[in-house]
Amino acid sequence: MDEHEYVGTDTNVLKAQLRVAASRQDVAAENVRRLVCALVDKMKADGAPPEKVVIEVKMAFLGGATMRAANNQNQLRDRERFLAEAVSWCIQQYYDEHASATRSEAKD
């Protein structure tokens, strides 16, 4: 099993997985998306407000580094676009009524 295919249920594990996956160019965007969505679901279920979830996703995605650490302008633009996409996934997942209904059905 590829380390990026596993999606844990602990918030810290999910953040660590997202940090690693987002930093590697050989990881498919869909795998990063799954990690973002799993982290959003976990944090929302734990009662985190949307702004906290977005901040945590961005911090995990950046891995504590700044965007300025990119080697060149093309890498920087690509990383900024990927981060914007991750934030979009985060917001969509947080407010997705279907995902929320599925989560509450699973709890019942």
Q: In the chain, what are the domain boundaries?
A: 11-107
Taking phi over 0 as left and psi of -120 to 50 as alpha, with beta for the rest, 72 belongs to beta
Give residue 36's pLDDT.
Answer: 93
- Tell me: the pLDDT tens digits for 40-82? 999 999 999 999 999 999 988 887 454 445 566 776 677 788 8
- Helix 97-107 to helix 29-45 angle, to the nearest 10 degrees? 60
* pLDDT on residue 80: 84
- The model's pTM is 0.72
> How would residue 1 be classed by pLDDT, with cut points 50, 70 and 90?
very low
Work out the burial of residue 57: count CB atoms within 10 Å of its CB; fewer than 13 is exposed, 13-18 middle, 19 or more buried: buried
pLDDT of residue 3: 43
